[in-house]
Amino acid sequence: MLGAAPPACLDRAGRMRCFFGIGLLLGAVWPLAASAHGFGRLYNLPVPFWLYAWAASAALLVSFLLALYFVRRPEGPEPEPTTRTIRSTGGWVRLKSVLQVLSVGLLVLCIATALWGNRDPYRNFSMTFFWIVCLLGLTYFTAVAGNVYAYLNPWSILTGWLGRLWPGYARGAWVYPKWLGDWPALLLLLAFVWFELFGRGIPRQLGWLVLVYTLMNVTAVGLVGRQAWFRHGELFAVYLRLVGRLAPLRLGGEDHLRQPAAWRWPGAGLVHSRPAHMATVVFILAMLSTTAFDGLRATQWWVRLFWSDPTGWVEALMGQRPMQNIIEARRWYLAWETLWLLSLPGIYFAAYAGSLQVARWMTGSQRPLRALLLDFAYPLLPIALAYHVTHYATLVLTQGRKIVSLVSDPFGWGWDLFGTAMTWRAPFLPEMSWVWHSQVALILIGHVAGVYASHRVAVRVFETPRSAALSQIALLVLMVAMTVSGLWIIAQPLTVERMT
């Protein structure tokens, strides 16, 4: 049985939480907040870019002022957030068992179709299922419905089955080092993004990637134990647990506690706890930076920065202009983009840490910088989700709907198992004007939600309302800069040829 929804009668602070939650959910499920990834034509903005930038900055300032007015420091200890526990039933337990078997089966099918199916990526089940349905669709579903992946993780299920057959396997040979935190998941995130951006984009390459990743998870569980690995090391477990903090449904033990499933205020998972390790902070910033980089590298400005070489630095390194030796220049271009991909999380971290250091100076706070970095990390998650939806949701519309036809012919051999082989094969392309306005709205909603959540944290962390307000000025400047840069990226003309 599901618990009752939160009460409708709210005080002023409660109304603000409600507005924040509605905005957060809109940011998660906005249907056509689409990236221009799926489009090849240029688009002229309906109004000048500078007007969008000023309007978005003003909206952030207004949201900051509203947060100052409505959010107050609670008298005495802050009460625990209200939740409504969901009781498990026998039907849910049986359904979960069926879904877990299906999850492992889909993993096997993904590997099999990638290795032995049709070589055309658009006719192969694995490409659409893994990249679109799982990595994109599951992210957006998690932001609304909670971290269902905690129950349906195929690698966790598979290693759990192995643990029943092999006593002691799931406990691991060594204790997971506490200092290691989520660093393995961060390295895997960067590796997966690199593969996505620079790989050949063919099914067989994906099949080997998923197979190697499966073997890696099986080996890692044997080394450090199933619980520790899927808490800190498995990329998608860490990633989706963070995204699940945005949802009004708490699932999967977000704080590594054995908590029952429960309803809560949307966004409550952002303000009532903090990461336990600095690696989680960098992971969240990597979620932001990798998405921004993917959008940036698709722009004509970025490609021309290297290939036109306006500064002459490429010629100085290569000894000749890049267009005079394209084969050699491609290697330099790949190395250049890889360097930026790996460096951007550190650059974002430096900007984030610098803002909080300024906040310490402005408030005279004695709270260590490390503590502040942990305190304000989760309020960055709405921004990361908004960037993700903005840049990738078009792929769900253009390619994701094809999964209906692909399930009837997963190997691309001309089958029609379920009678849907000819269903929804054509992509749906929305009007570019609506795409742009949706992108602007999403970026703004994500940052407004981040501003509000950040101020909720500030009134708890700092001793006085004045200190809480001053602490947010530097973060507000950072968020304005991120908003304007995000709008600038999606306003740039795109190039189909990325020269990689």
Q: What is the pLDDT along the chain (500 residues), one digit of tens a residue?
A: 333 333 333 344 443 444 334 343 333 333 333 333 333 344 456 667 777 777 778 888 888 788 777 776 655 444 455 566 666 666 777 888 899 999 999 999 999 999 999 999 989 999 999 999 999 999 999 999 999 999 999 999 999 999 999 988 999 999 999 999 999 999 999 999 999 999 888 999 999 999 999 999 999 999 999 999 999 999 999 999 999 999 988 876 676 656 677 788 888 889 888 999 999 999 999 999 999 999 899 888 898 888 888 888 888 888 888 888 888 889 889 999 999 999 999 999 999 999 999 999 999 989 999 999 999 999 999 999 998 988 888 788 888 889 999 999 999 999 999 998 888 777 677 777 777 778 788 888 888 888 889 988 998 888 888 888 888 899 889 988 888 888 888 777 766 444 44
Q: Is 483 exposed, middle or buried (0-12, 13-18, 19+ CB in 10 A)?
A: buried
CB 13 within 8 A of CB 70: yes
In a domain, 5, yes or no: no
- Give residue 411's domain range: 12-72+101-491
Local structure of 83: helix, strand or coil: strand
Q: Which two tokens stand for residue 143?
A: 């932001």
Q: How many domains does the chain have?
A: 1
β-pairing, 83-85 with 249-250?
Answer: unpaired
In a domain, 498, yes or no: no
In a domain, 143, yes or no: yes
Whole-model pTM: value is 0.85
* Rounded-to-integer distance, Cα 293 and Cα 466, Å: 36
Q: Please tell me the predicted confidence (pLDDT) of residue 396.
A: 84
In a domain, 311, yes or no: yes
In a domain, 464, yes or no: yes
In a domain, 78, yes or no: no
Spatial CB neighbours of 374, under 8 Å, sequence gap ≥ 6: 274, 275, 276, 278, 281
In a domain, 62, yes or no: yes
In a domain, 85, yes or no: no
- Kindly state the helix (H) or strand (E) to which residue 264 belongs, with its residue range: strand 262-264
Q: Is 284 exposed, middle or buried (0-12, 13-18, 19+ CB in 10 A)?
A: buried
